[in-house]
Amino acid sequence: MCSDETDPGKALNIMSVDVEDWFHILDVRPAPRVDQWDALESRVERNLHFLLDAFDEHGVQVTCFFLGWVAERFPHLVRTAADRGHEIASHGHLHQLIYGTTRQAFAQDIRHAKAVLEDIAQRPVLGYRAPGFSIVRATSWAFEELVEGGYRYDSSIFPAARGHGGLAGARTDPHRLWTASGPLLELPISVTRFLGQRVCFFGGGYLRLFPYPLIERMARAVNEDRRPVIYYIHPREIDPHQPRLPMARSRRFKSYVNLATTAGKLKAIMRSQRLTTFERWLEVNGASLPEGLDG
Ligand SMILES: [Zn+2]
């Protein structure tokens, strides 16, 4: 029981899981199409249970951004996560890149996922994260649609350059974003300066690639900047035995490096840091967020 949420001397950080399967990798040509997903072996149940057990072991509550498609197929996973004290949030329904979709299709996708998740969890779903952090300047209508769709906060802005998506130059601190439909609380993915560039050490390939002491040092830098660290992980990232999609060598490295050591790193983070859900973090800090026009 080391999350130690009550120690006021330590910064409160956020842990999140994007709940999707091994084949929901974006932007690679051989990635299976939506109409093929049903026929594929699924590993999300096993992998999410592994993560939920690790969270229990460390007394940590997290935000689970469920893909609506996964929730419809495995509703017991949503109920189990909710029963074990985790926040249920939305990763959209069909995992489509936002800049590859239309405003109308996006509006439908986020509403459908929210309805499915609320029906299963029997509680309001407040948060959203875009597949691949794929909200870019040209699709900033997405923020307005999130407010219209009943979401209160978003964690889709990746304020650095990135393979797909990314809003390089966007503000990096949690803030209140004003849209034509009203306010949305924005909690951008955490980045810090490293070799002159903004880098995220707290999810995806970098979290798996770098050793824990470096990640901890970078987390301290984010906290010294008076920002929470937002960690994000996918169930497939602790699964060394998942099937591999064929892809170019550099992308293959990024997608599959260190799958066998990520669970251990996650446990080290849980042992040494105060971690909570977005909802709980916002209860403590939401009212004092600065106004922001970025997005
Ligand atoms: Zn995703």
Distance (angstroms) between ligand 1 centre and the Cα of 6 equals: 31
Domain segments of the chain as ranges: 12-28+41-288
Query: What's the pLDDT score for residue 165?
Result: 75
Per-residue pLDDT, 164: 73
CA of 175 to the centre of ligand 1 (A): 23
Closest residue by Cα to residue 51 from 64, 38, 42: 64
* Nearest-5° Cα angle at 211, 210 to 217: 95
Summarised one tens digit per residue, pLDDT across range 237-276 is: 999 898 888 888 888 888 888 888 899 999 999 999 999 9
pLDDT for 2: 47
Ligand 1 centroid–CA 18 distance in Å is: 6
Q: In this predicted model, what pLDDT tens digit does every residue of 124-135 receive, in sequence order?
A: 999 999 999 999
Closest CA to 154 of 230, 72, 236, 44: 230
Predicted pLDDT at 1 = 45
CA of 71 to the centre of ligand 1 (A): 13
Class for domain 12-28+41-288, per CATH? alpha beta
Is a pLDDT exceeding 50 seen at residue 187?
yes
Question: For residue 13, is pLDDT > 60?
Answer: yes
Q: How far apart are CA 265 and CA 216, in angstroms?
A: 10
Distance of CA 130 from the midpoint of ligand 1 (Å): 7
- Provide the percentage of residues in the chain whose pLDDT is more than 90: 77
Task: State which H helix or E strand residue 241 sits in.
Answer: none
Report CA(91)–ligand 1 centroid distance (Å). Answer: 7
- Taking 60 as the threshold, does the pLDDT of residue 3 lie above it? no
